[in-house]
Copies of this chain bind each other. A is one copy, B any other.
């Protein structure tokens, strides 16, 4: 990766050090990742799914919670949780990833939640489709976006705010967009949005607003803090393109056994069955390749079938491991022809760094 600030003149919010500060550590201990051995499960077990909470986990009360639908609609609505549960019920497996996944591997390093590669998970979400609710409310022709408001409140970039994100009407109207009240067959855990959240399959997680209290149809594109923050910029003054759908990525279960502190892997020589998952928000996964030589050569993995169009695709690869030092990488390609880069794509806030996973492995003679 070419250093975007070769003179060492890094802008505010970017660190020249790979080490993280106590403030970033504080975030990493709250906003945890998925254990990569969790890639063995189709559905990530409760509590193992990645989590990113901007402010605090609010105290939600199922009995009194109300979702308001207002703004440029013919009929404003206020829906209780009982109302929402009485509507058509849909369950679907969805893979979700944080837009900041990979951020802490960048040089220089954008300062925020310091993800490495673990900000992922697949849950079985249960809820009701959003579209029929919008149709009942009657979104007016002059509305261009819907603003989704969560109950978590705090300060970011000197702006006090409820967490808010918007979607274009056409994106919000897609049949897979759900108002969700269950995760893996149980009520949403508080930290995943109890009692109600939005789930937008295929998009990075910031779009799937937790603790959802309001949906407002608006006439102008929303320019709230979270909407302008999630953009691809090289320099602070750039307008940038919005961060939307997940780029392709594949991760493998690190084989063998780990060293506690370094997480370095030790594998016994012989036939090793490598396993992992791949996903993309821009098309079905069509190919996963594996390299055991730091990306110099690649061979195709065998693909399984995803549990839903929005869930990750399992893959396996048989590796004949002889003693020595290796760097293992999987690389995913989707039906849109999008593939993972070997170099890290740098941007100012460290979004969508989908460069290939690199797993150093020492193979030991048996």
Q: Which residues of A contact B (CB under 8 A)?
A: 17-23, 25-30, 32-33, 35, 37-38, 40-41, 45-49, 51, 53-57, 59, 104-105, 111-112, 114-116, 118, 153-157, 160, 186, 189-192, 254, 257-263, 266
Contacts and interface: CB of A to CB of B under 8 A. Distances in A.
Contact of A28 (B25, B41, B153, B189): B25
Nearest to A56: B37
Given A19-B21, A155-B260, 20 more contacts: A18-B21, A20-B20, A22-B116, A23-B262, A25-B104, A25-B114, A27-B261, A28-B29, A30-B33, A30-B35, A30-B118, A35-B57, A38-B191, A46-B186, A47-B189, A54-B260, A56-B254, A155-B257, A155-B266, A156-B261
Contacts of A53: 35
Nearest to A190: B45
A323 to B, nearest CB: 16
A22 B109 CA distance: 12
A53 B153 CA distance: 32
A98 to B, nearest CB: 11
Contact of A189 (B20, B46, B160): B46
B189 A118 contact: no
A28 B260 CA distance: 12
A181 to B, nearest CB: 15
19 contacts: A18-B22, A19-B19, A26-B263, A28-B29, A29-B114, A29-B118, A35-B53, A45-B189, A46-B47, A46-B189, A47-B48, A48-B190, A48-B191, A55-B257, A55-B258, A112-B261, A154-B260, A155-B260, A156-B260
Contacts of A25: 20, 25, 28, 104, 114, 116
A38 B57 contact: yes
Contacts of A37: 56-57
A51 B47 CA distance: 10
Contacts of A157: 260
B259 A29 contact: no
A186 B40 CA distance: 20
Contacts of A22: 18-20, 104-105, 116
Contact of A29 (B32, B190, B257, B260): B32
Given A18-B22, A155-B266, A29 B116 contact: yes
**In the complex, which of the residues A19, A27, A40, A157 has the most CB atoms of chain B within 10 Å of its own CB atom?**
A19
A238 to B, nearest CB: 21
A104 B19 CA distance: 14
Nearest to A254: B56
A186 B183 CA distance: 14
A40 B194 CA distance: 15
Nearest to A158: B259
